[in-house]
Structure 1
Amino acid sequence: MADFSGSLAADATLSNEEKAEDLSQDSKNDAPKSDVQADSDNEAVPDPSIYRYIKDDLFTSEIYKIEIRNIPKFVGFNDLKKFLAKHGISPHKIKLFGKQTFAFVTFKNEEERDKAMKMVHGMQWKGQVLSVRLAKPKADPILKKRKQEEGEGAGGQPASKRTEGDDEEEPLHVQIANVVTPLWNVPYEEQLRRKEQEVVGVLQRLAKEIGSTNKAMLPWLFAQKGKFNKMCCPLEAIQPSPTQTEYRNKCEFLISVGANGEDKTIGFRLGKYKGGSCAVVGPAETSHVSAEAKKVVSEFQKFIRTTPYSVYSPETYEGHWKQLTVRTTRTKQAMAIVFFNPQKLEEEDLNALKSAMRQYFTDGEGKESCVTSLYFVREGQRTSPNLEDLPCELVAGENCIHEELLGLKFRISPHSFFQVNTGAAEVLYSAVGEWAQLDQDSTVLDVCCGTGTIGLSLAKRVKKVIGIELCQEAVEDAKVNAKLNGLSNVEFHCGKAEDVFPNILNALVSPNVTAIVDPPRAGLHSKVILAIRRAVHLKRLVYVACNAKAAMTNFIDLCRAPSNRVHGAPFRPVRAMAVDLFPQTMHVEMLLLLERVDYDSQQQTGPAETDPM
Structure 2
Amino acid sequence: MADVAPDSTVPNDSSSTKEESRIEPEPQEETKQEEPSVEESEGKEQSNSNVYRYIKEDLFTSEIFKVEIQNLPKFTGFNDLKKFLNKHGLNPHKIKLIGRQTFAFVTFKNQDDRDKAMKLVHGMQWKGKVLSVRLAKPKADPIAKKRRQDGEAADHVQPASKRPTDERDAGEEEPLSTQIANAVTPLWQVQYEEQLKRKECEVEAVLQKLAREIGNNNKAMLPWLFVQKEKNKGMCCPLKPIRPSPLQTEYRNKCEFVIGTGADGEDKTVGFRLGKYKGGTCAVVSPSDTIHIPKEAKHVVQAFQKYIRTSPYAVYSPETYEGHWRQLTVRTSRTSQIMAMVFFNPQKLSVEEIEALKSSMKQFFTDGEGKDSGVTSLHFVRIGQRTCAGTEDLPCELVAGDAWIHEELLGLRFRISPHSFFQTNTPAAEVLYSSVGEWAQLDQESTVLDVCCGTGTIGISLAKRVKKVIGIELCQEAVEDAKVNAKANGLTNIEFHCGKAEDIFPTVLNAVVSPNVTAIVDPPRAGLHSKVILAIRRAEHLKRLVYVACNAKAAMNNFVDLCRAPSNRVRGDPFRPVRAMGVDLFPQTMHCETILLFERVDYGSNDNAAKPQTTEK
TM-score by length of 2: 0.89
Work out which of the residue numbers 465, 473, 477 in structure 1 matches 2:477: 473
d(CA) in 2 for partners of 1:158, 1:313: 31
d(CA) in 1 for partners of 2:268, 2:319: 16
Shift of 1:339: 1.0
Shift of 1:556: 1.2
Work out which of the residue numbers 393, 396, 401 in structure 2 matches 1:392: 396
Work out which of the residue numbers 540, 543, 546 in structure 1 matches 2:547: 543
Aligned-partner SS, 2:55: coil
- Asked if residue 203 in structure 1 is aligned to residue 207 in structure 2, the reply is yes
Partner of 2:217: 213
Does structure 1 conserve the Cα–Cα contact (< 8 Å) formed by 2:9 and 2:318? no
Shift of 1:355: 1.1
Work out which of the residue numbers 410, 421, 424 in structure 2 matches 1:420: 424
d(CA) in 2 for partners of 1:366, 1:455: 37
- Shift of the 26–590 alpha-carbon distance from structure 1 to 2, 3 Å rule, reads closer
1:263-286 deviation digits (Å, cap 9, x = unpaired): 111111111111101111111111
- Asked if residue 19 in structure 1 is aligned to residue 7 in structure 2, the reply is yes
- Asked if residue 324 in structure 1 is aligned to residue 328 in structure 2, the reply is yes
d(CA) in 1 for partners of 2:274, 2:19: 24
- Shift of the 334–55 alpha-carbon distance from structure 1 to 2, 3 Å rule, reads farther
- Asked if residue 71 in structure 1 is aligned to residue 72 in structure 2, the reply is yes
d(CA) in 2 for partners of 1:512, 1:83: 41
1:123-157 deviation digits (Å, cap 9, x = unpaired): 21123222223322211101111122233445677
1:37 aligned partner, one-letter code? E
- Shift of the 585–72 alpha-carbon distance from structure 1 to 2, 3 Å rule, reads same
Does structure 1 conserve the Cα–Cα contact (< 8 Å) formed by 2:6 and 2:54? no
d(CA) in 2 for partners of 1:27, 1:283: 21
Partner of 1:134: 135
Aligned-partner SS, 1:366: helix
d(CA) in 1 for partners of 2:183, 2:439: 35
- Shift of the 26–437 alpha-carbon distance from structure 1 to 2, 3 Å rule, reads closer
1:271-318 deviation digits (Å, cap 9, x = unpaired): 111110111111111100001000000100111111111111111111
1:471-519 deviation digits (Å, cap 9, x = unpaired): 1111111111111112121111122211211121222222211000111
Does structure 2 conserve the Cα–Cα contact (< 8 Å) formed by 1:418 and 1:450? yes
Does structure 2 conserve the Cα–Cα contact (< 8 Å) formed by 1:26 and 1:94? no
Partner of 2:604: 600
Does structure 2 conserve the Cα–Cα contact (< 8 Å) formed by 1:312 and 1:320? yes
TM-score by length of 1: 0.90
Q: How does 1:440-589 map to 2 (within 5 A)?
A: 440-589=444-593
1:208-243 deviation digits (Å, cap 9, x = unpaired): 221221111111111112222221111111111011
- Shift of the 55–422 alpha-carbon distance from structure 1 to 2, 3 Å rule, reads farther
Aligned-partner SS, 1:283: coil
- Asked if residue 37 in structure 1 is aligned to residue 56 in structure 2, the reply is no
Gaps of 5+ in 2: 11-15, 31-43, 611-617
- Shift of the 333–190 alpha-carbon distance from structure 1 to 2, 3 Å rule, reads same
Q: How does 1:50-61 map to 2 (within 5 A)?
A: 50-54=51-55, 57-61=58-62
Does structure 1 conserve the Cα–Cα contact (< 8 Å) formed by 2:6 and 2:318? no
Gaps of 5+ in 1: 1-13, 607-613
1:431-474 deviation digits (Å, cap 9, x = unpaired): 00111011111111111111111111111111111111111111
- Shift of the 487–100 alpha-carbon distance from structure 1 to 2, 3 Å rule, reads closer
d(CA) in 2 for partners of 1:361, 1:17: 35
2:460 aligned partner, one-letter code? L
Does structure 2 conserve the Cα–Cα contact (< 8 Å) formed by 1:51 and 1:139? yes
Work out which of the residue numbers 212, 230, 234 in structure 2 matches 1:230: 234
- Shift of the 38–354 alpha-carbon distance from structure 1 to 2, 3 Å rule, reads farther
Partner of 1:430: 434
1:169-225 deviation digits (Å, cap 9, x = unpaired): 321111111111111111111111111111111111211221221111111111112
Shift of 1:55: 5.6
- Shift of the 40–48 alpha-carbon distance from structure 1 to 2, 3 Å rule, reads farther
1:64 aligned partner, one-letter code? F
Partner of 1:275: 279
Partner of 1:8: none
Shift of 1:168: 4.2
Partner of 2:103: 102
Does structure 1 conserve the Cα–Cα contact (< 8 Å) formed by 2:72 and 2:103? yes
Does structure 2 conserve the Cα–Cα contact (< 8 Å) formed by 1:27 and 1:77? no
- Shift of the 459–18 alpha-carbon distance from structure 1 to 2, 3 Å rule, reads farther
d(CA) in 1 for partners of 2:104, 2:431: 45
- Shift of the 81–397 alpha-carbon distance from structure 1 to 2, 3 Å rule, reads same
Shift of 1:82: 2.1
Shift of 1:328: 0.5
Larger deviation, residues 558-567 vs 162-171: 162-171
Does structure 2 conserve the Cα–Cα contact (< 8 Å) formed by 1:258 and 1:279? yes
Partner of 2:379: 375
- Shift of the 549–422 alpha-carbon distance from structure 1 to 2, 3 Å rule, reads same
d(CA) in 1 for partners of 2:281, 2:76: 35
Partner of 1:183: 187
Does structure 1 conserve the Cα–Cα contact (< 8 Å) formed by 2:71 and 2:129? yes
d(CA) in 2 for partners of 1:294, 1:384: 25
2:325 aligned partner, one-letter code? W
Taking every aligned residue pair, what percent have the same amino acid on both sides?
A: 73
Larger deviation, residues 106-115 vs 446-455: 106-115
CA RMSD of aligned residues (A): 2.7
Work out which of the residue numbers 381, 406, 425 in structure 2 matches 1:402: 406
d(CA) in 2 for partners of 1:28, 1:396: 37
Does structure 1 conserve the Cα–Cα contact (< 8 Å) formed by 2:519 and 2:542? yes
- Shift of the 217–463 alpha-carbon distance from structure 1 to 2, 3 Å rule, reads same
Does structure 2 conserve the Cα–Cα contact (< 8 Å) formed by 1:40 and 1:135? no
d(CA) in 1 for partners of 2:28, 2:550: 34
- Asked if residue 151 in structure 1 is aligned to residue 142 in structure 2, the reply is no
1:49-78 deviation digits (Å, cap 9, x = unpaired): 212333665333223322222323332323
Does structure 1 conserve the Cα–Cα contact (< 8 Å) formed by 2:75 and 2:101? no
- Shift of the 28–280 alpha-carbon distance from structure 1 to 2, 3 Å rule, reads closer
Q: Count matched residues.
A: 586
Aligned-partner SS, 2:342: strand
Q: How does 1:219-258 map to 2 (within 5 A)?
A: 219-258=223-262
Aligned-partner SS, 2:580: strand
Shift of 1:21: 9.7
d(CA) in 1 for partners of 2:190, 2:589: 10
Aligned-partner SS, 2:53: coil
Partner of 2:63: 62
Q: How does 1:81-96 map to 2 (within 5 A)?
A: 81-96=82-97
- Shift of the 292–40 alpha-carbon distance from structure 1 to 2, 3 Å rule, reads farther
Shift of 1:603: 5.8
d(CA) in 2 for partners of 1:458, 1:550: 27
Larger deviation, residues 205-214 vs 62-71: 62-71
d(CA) in 2 for partners of 1:40, 1:337: 52
